[in-house]
Structure 1
């Protein structure tokens, strides 16, 4: 490999990125995506508007109402007395849920008889509706444990403990996955412009006429972007640790090594798209289609891969973001590291992805005028 020529090409790429202000996007885009989605995506529902209709007005019903009033998940309204009015308010999007306590609530409980509580939930958005329903059930079951004495000495008690995300924070569940999404999208978009812009400007003819080989040309394009985005590995790590306060329980060297391999995969996707397209707008649109959409669907941020069924489960294994995000969640929340066979296998798969994609991009690059 002609070291001096390659060095000159790398310096040319860096100076061009500085002159075109593209280097600003190298650092600005990942941080923007991290902050935008890190603060914007929320699975937890807080301050849901809840109407409680207490038809019994007894001691036990008031105790149940107080449980909801002291919950951070609900903003409780008890002034509505009519069920029809409450249903009208939920239809007008002025309420998220309704609880109707029957008139015989206390009497039936004291006699040991079963009683029913009416619960109406706005499920226009199914995930939000399901979360609110779970919260309502949780508060009622918690209240029932204190309202109704144990039936017998042999009653079962559940000692429940959450692992890895003990506080059940959205940030702990979302931010590690966001790093995988950001490091897939940002390097790929920048890399997708590297070769196709030379086709548009006509400067690609300099490569056609030069003694530089295809491997050297791709390396000259890849190295500056790779080095610059390597800094983003540490920047995003600092955002996650100190801005979003996500715990880090694993090996930093595993995080760094896996991230470097993953950036190579991302840049290889961009290089491949840059080779097969002829205009920058097509390259950017195609890159967005093959990175952002699969990145959201199959990164585990919105839905766990284990919950997927049918073809979606197989599709998730096609995209590299699933493998990298498994390693991210391990180093941030679990800390198993390389002692996990799955982590070792996923590192090998990511390396294969980078090798194959970069090889295809180099192979399909033509050093001739069609």
Structure 2
């Protein structure tokens, strides 16, 4: 390897990044994405607007209504309006759910009979609707259990529930680790996508054509400066997750660091590959956004667990490195198995394979001549 020539190229890349002010984007974009999406994405449903129609006006119906009034998940409104008028309010998006207590509610319960209640939920957003429905059913069943206990009816089943890994059920704990995978996929790829195509537009690529530098040495000289800069982002994002979003860290920091360095190399290789096959910077940027942002959201496990996917979507998820990296990240932050997990070791090996594959393809596609 021609060490001095490679060093000269590396120095040139650092100088160019400082001169064009792109060095500021190295740290600005990841921080903005993490903060904006970390506070902006919310999966938990709170203060759902629930209209309670009490046609019974009894002591037990009032007790049931009280369960809704003392919950952070609902903003209840008590009314005696008709069902048709309530449905019109839902069509106007003024309420999220309707709970109808029948007129014979207390009487049937006291006689040990089944009392049917009506529940309508706005299903415009299915995930939100299912969550609200679960909250409503849980609240009603809890009220029924309390009423039954007071009436001397012992429940046949007692549930002792514990939530593991995210005991507080915080959105930040579920979202922020996954966002690190998205950030470290998008930001390095965007920057490296401009490295070679920029030289094509300016004509400075002819310096490489005329130099004794090999293709692999040229690509390494392009990767190293951006890799070193984004390696600092690994620690910046870690600090933001711990001290800004207060996400717990239960695993191996060494595993987090090794996996993140490999992942940055993969992201840079994706950007370089795009930079090699394109001729214009705007095309390189658009293509990089499509290749990184869409898989970063759909197949990272942020919004939907990979295990819940079926068919083609499950296969596609395994074709992108973000799934493997995010599994390791969620382990280091929330679970803490570390190197004791064979799956973590396997996924590390797969990440190495992704980097070697992308770098090899880039080396093969890069031509040291005019086309």
**Partner of residue 68, structure 2:** 68
Q: Please report how far the alpha carbon of residue 153 of structure 1 lies from its aligned counterpart in structure 2 after TM superposition.
A: 5.5
1:255 and 1:327 in contact (8 A); partners too: yes
Gap regions ≥5 residues in structure 1: none
Give the secondary-structure state (helix, strand or coil) at the position aligned to 1:206: helix
1:61 and 1:106 in contact (8 A); partners too: yes
1:69 and 1:75 in contact (8 A); partners too: yes
Gap regions ≥5 residues in structure 2: none
The answer to whether the aligner puts 1:181 opposite 2:182 as a matched pair is yes
**Aligned equivalents of 1:153, 1:28: Cα separation in 2:** 60
| Cα distance change on mapping 1:154 and 1:139 into 2, 3 Å | closer
**Aligned equivalents of 1:236, 1:145: Cα separation in 2:** 46
| TM-score (structure 1 length as normaliser) | 0.98
**Partner of residue 116, structure 2:** 116
**Partner of residue 291, structure 1:** 292
Give the secondary-structure state (helix, strand or coil) at the position aligned to 1:116: coil
Q: Please report how far the alpha carbon of residue 151 of structure 1 lies from its aligned counterpart in structure 2 after TM superposition.
A: 7.4
1:184 and 1:321 in contact (8 A); partners too: yes
Q: Please report how far the alpha carbon of residue 81 of structure 1 lies from its aligned counterpart in structure 2 after TM superposition.
A: 2.5
**Partner of residue 89, structure 2:** 89
Matched ranges for 1:1-370 at <5 A: 1-149=1-149, 155-370=156-371
Give the secondary-structure state (helix, strand or coil) at the position aligned to 1:84: helix
2:54 and 2:80 in contact (8 A); partners too: no
Give the secondary-structure state (helix, strand or coil) at the position aligned to 1:78: strand
**1:281-332 deviation per Cα after TM superposition (whole angstroms, max 9, x unaligned):** 1111111111110110100011100000111101100000000000001000
Q: CA RMSD in A?
A: 1.1
| TM-score (structure 2 length as normaliser) | 0.98
Moved over 4 A (4+): 150-154
**Number of matched pairs:** 370
Q: Please report how far the alpha carbon of residue 80 of structure 1 lies from its aligned counterpart in structure 2 after TM superposition.
A: 4.7
Q: Please report how far the alpha carbon of residue 368 of structure 1 lies from its aligned counterpart in structure 2 after TM superposition.
A: 0.5
1:51 and 1:80 in contact (8 A); partners too: no
Give the secondary-structure state (helix, strand or coil) at the position aligned to 1:65: helix
**Aligned equivalents of 1:63, 1:137: Cα separation in 2:** 15
**Aligned equivalents of 2:124, 2:160: Cα separation in 1:** 34
